[in-house]
């Protein structure tokens, strides 16, 4: 769920991504089905806690939003969409590579949709496709410190798509009561089944994104406040 860093040209169609994407089908996709079922059951066992104001922001559906969460909270993405954004599909940017094909197939099993492209080599096409998704009335997911970090640092390029599509940002905050941490660059969170997750939120209007660098700095500060990690780098 990473975002491109290039500005899409003004005269190109935002709904197309001219890149040949690898795909998983047949028995290979069937291999993923048990893992998709496990993830769905695992996510549904979590006890999300929200106050009324946070819940109201999560359930705002009068316009599409860019859902923004740190990369190490990505495990929660499908469950956020299922619980709070019912009836509005959400799309994530996934690499067009063979590895991305497996991730795209896995996302499809847990109720997420994907736009295939690269945040580096094919940034313009990926940005245009995501702008098209928002203009069609669907949500997108953004991990502003992904896919390789640095952890908890917002890249200004993460704001490009929301600025062009004139849509707000929905910031995700998640604090865990019982969790495993992976030994990855972002120390990825895996909340233990049936544990509680304190969900917070903030809604950023597109007008606040006019100065991209200042907006990225503000966004980073707000995300850090919404996600209080004691071992934050």
Considering only CA atoms, which of 94, 101, 99, 102 is closest in space to residue 2? 94
| pLDDT digits 0-9 by tens, 30-87 | 777 888 889 899 999 999 999 999 999 999 999 999 999 999 999 999 999 999 998 7
Alpha carbon 32 to chain centroid distance? 21
Write the burial class of residue 4 (CB in 10 Å: 0-12 exposed, 13-18 middle, 19+ buried): buried
**Whole-Å CA distances, 16 to 8, 56, 117, 126:** 12, 33, 11, 8
Considering only CA atoms, which of 141, 218, 214, 205 is closest in space to residue 172? 141
| pLDDT digits 0-9 by tens, 168-225 | 999 999 999 999 999 999 999 999 999 999 999 999 999 999 998 999 999 999 999 9
pTM for this entry: 0.84
């Amino acid at each position: 769920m990473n975002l491109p860093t290039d500005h899409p040209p003004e005269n190109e169609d935002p709904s197309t991504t001219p890149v040949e994407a690898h795909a998983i089908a047949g028995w290979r996709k069937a291999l993923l089905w048990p893992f998709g079922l496990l993830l769905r059951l695992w996510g549904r066992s979590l006890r999300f806690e929200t106050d009324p104001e946070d819940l109201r922001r999560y359930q705002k559906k009068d316009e599409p939003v860019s859902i923004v969460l740190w990369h190490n909270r990505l495990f929660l993405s499908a469950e956020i969409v299922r619980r709070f954004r019912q009836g509005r599909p959400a799309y994530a940017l996934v690499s067009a590579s063979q590895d991305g094909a497996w991730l795209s197939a896995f996302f499809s099993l847990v109720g997420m949709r994907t736009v295939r492209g690269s945040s580096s080599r094919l940034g313009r096409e990926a940005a245009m496709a995501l702008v098209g998704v928002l203009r069609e009335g669907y949500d997108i997911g953004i991990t502003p410190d992904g896919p390789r970090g640095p952890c908890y640092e917002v890249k200004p390029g993460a704001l490009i798509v929301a600025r062009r599509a004139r849509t707000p940002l929905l910031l995700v905050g998640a604090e865990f009561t019982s969790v495993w941490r992976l030994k990855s660059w972002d120390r990825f969170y895996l909340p233990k089944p049936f544990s509680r997750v304190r969900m917070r939120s903030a809604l950023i209007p597109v007008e606040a994104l006019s100065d991209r660098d200042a907006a990225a700095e503000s966004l980073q500060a707000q995300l850090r406040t919404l996600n209080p990690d004691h071992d934050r780098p």
